[in-house]
Structure 1
């Protein structure tokens, strides 16, 4: 079974060093990212893909703090990231595709960079890492990015990033620093924040203005599927500014991936709520173990036809890989 995974990360050492000049060092938790695997864009990565049964990785650069550094530097570094990513894809076009990094601090520049990344470099969309200056994508200032993605017919992958400092201090502080930092990020907080981000886009009318826009959420939908029926019931009644029933925005304009969370209950919930047509596959390499990816899907209690959709055909259609 062919497998395409959509949340597979890279990191360019020179970019990391350039960004670090503008950001304070963080020692809030002991987690150390797997630097060697992130930076490898060749033989070792391909070997790990082969061992895990992954045919194609859709690569994206880690957040790297691009949205928190001066605008001019962010624009230049985003271009450098996308150039390097395109070069990597071109070196192994049958094994890699890519999502662009955008300088969201300047939405007009970000829109131009998305157009260049797609039409010139051949990338397949963009990954957005959380908020920018404490603003979500429903903020009117980001409309140039949304317009560009819609016009280019490419998806935006909404990836978690730490919540605002005010939210971290109010909701997650008060424990050992490593516990608080993890609670605010990959242990809970940034998943909730990302779910809120997507819900705000619905309530803010983003999908009414851009009815062809497609959004991708990792981690089985960033907590949304469990409460989606509740959210839809409430806001279909009171959010009268919306043009469609709330559920429609999720089943028509959002996709969900596992991000390496290979556990059956959330998968079955997503299947029931959104259907196989709205599930893509991802490992969150190298932060999660790719070894389970193929076996999880092969043993999932769903039809072979649905397995093929999730494994590759949904991604091929969305990203125009065939």
Structure 2
């Protein structure tokens, strides 16, 4: 079975160096693997049985820079990733990094990345300087994505300082950091971000727009029925919240390798809306593919999740 993984991160050291003090920090092994765009990355893919990775820059600091720096560094990052895809076109595709602090420039860079570089969409990291995608400033960007027919992968990011103080102060620093990020905080905020797009009418304004979220749906599968019950009567929109989310959101398995979250996601979203991802190098390729191959699902659903849904959505 062909396997495509589509939340697979990179951060070339020449890009990280330009971020200076706001560059994200990772353990040395992860930092080295983020910089690796052939050798060890391809070896790990081969060993795990992954045919294609969709590459994405770990880019939240880039999208929040002052506009002129964000525009220049986004362009440089996309050109660097495009070179990696060109070197291995049968193994890599890519999501664009966008200068979100300058929304019109973000729309222009998305068009360049798709039309000129052959990218298959964009990855946006959560809110940008306190603004979510339902803000009217981002209308040109969402219109561009809809016109191009490419999805936006909405990935978690660091919480704003005011949120960090309100929710995560008073804890040991290391506990606060992990609680605010990949253990809980990231996923709660990202699920909220998607619901804002539904409740605020953004999805109605752009009915062909497709959003991808990772981490087995960012809490949405478990909570969607309750959100629908409480929110749909008060939105004044033609579709219910649940209908809207299921129409316009795909979810990936990134970082999750246990059956209960997968089965919940299948019951709520259906197999046609779930895509395989690893979250490399923060999660293990071999563990993720072993989970996909052994999950208690039908062969047809395994094919959909492993590659067919991604081929359809990204036109691979």
Q: Which residue of 2 aligns with 1:316?
A: 311
1:235–1:246 Cα contact (<8 Å) kept: yes
Partners of 1:64 and 1:32 in 2: CA distance: 20
Any runs of at least 4 consecutive aligned residues in structure 1 with deviations exceeding 4 A, and if so which?
30-33
2:24–2:61 Cα contact (<8 Å) kept: no
Equivalent residue runs for 1:63-82 within 5 Å: 63=59, 65-82=61-78
Structure 1 unmatched ranges of 5 or more:
none
1:225–1:269 Cα contact (<8 Å) kept: yes
Equivalent residue runs for 1:37-186 within 5 Å: 37-63=33-59, 65-186=61-182
1:10-37 Cα deviation digits (max 9, x unpaired): 011111111115x3x788xx85561111
Deviation of 1:178 (Å):
1.1
Deviation of 1:249 (Å):
1.3
Instruction: Give the counterpart of 2:224 among 225, 228, 240.
Output: 228
2:60–2:125 Cα contact (<8 Å) kept: no
1:300 equivalenced with 2:295 (yes/no): yes
2:98–2:124 Cα contact (<8 Å) kept: yes
Structure 2 unmatched ranges of 5 or more:
none
1:52–1:290 Cα contact (<8 Å) kept: yes
If the length of structure 2 is used for normalisation, what is the TM-score? 0.97
1:262-287 Cα deviation digits (max 9, x unpaired): 11000000000000000001000000
Q: Which residue of 2 aligns with 1:260?
A: 255
Partners of 1:298 and 1:268 in 2: CA distance: 14
Measured on the aligned residues, the alpha-carbon RMSD in Å equals 1.4
If the length of structure 1 is used for normalisation, what is the TM-score? 0.95
1:210 equivalenced with 2:170 (yes/no): no
1:270-316 Cα deviation digits (max 9, x unpaired): 00000000000100000001111222112111111111000000000
Partners of 1:202 and 1:64 in 2: CA distance: 23
Deviation of 1:68 (Å):
2.7
1:41-79 Cα deviation digits (max 9, x unpaired): 112110000011110000000125113322101100000
**Matched residue pairs, number?**
316
Partners of 2:59 and 2:178 in 1: CA distance: 17
Deviation of 1:260 (Å):
2.3
Corresponding residue SS for 2:275 = coil
1:10–1:62 Cα contact (<8 Å) kept: yes
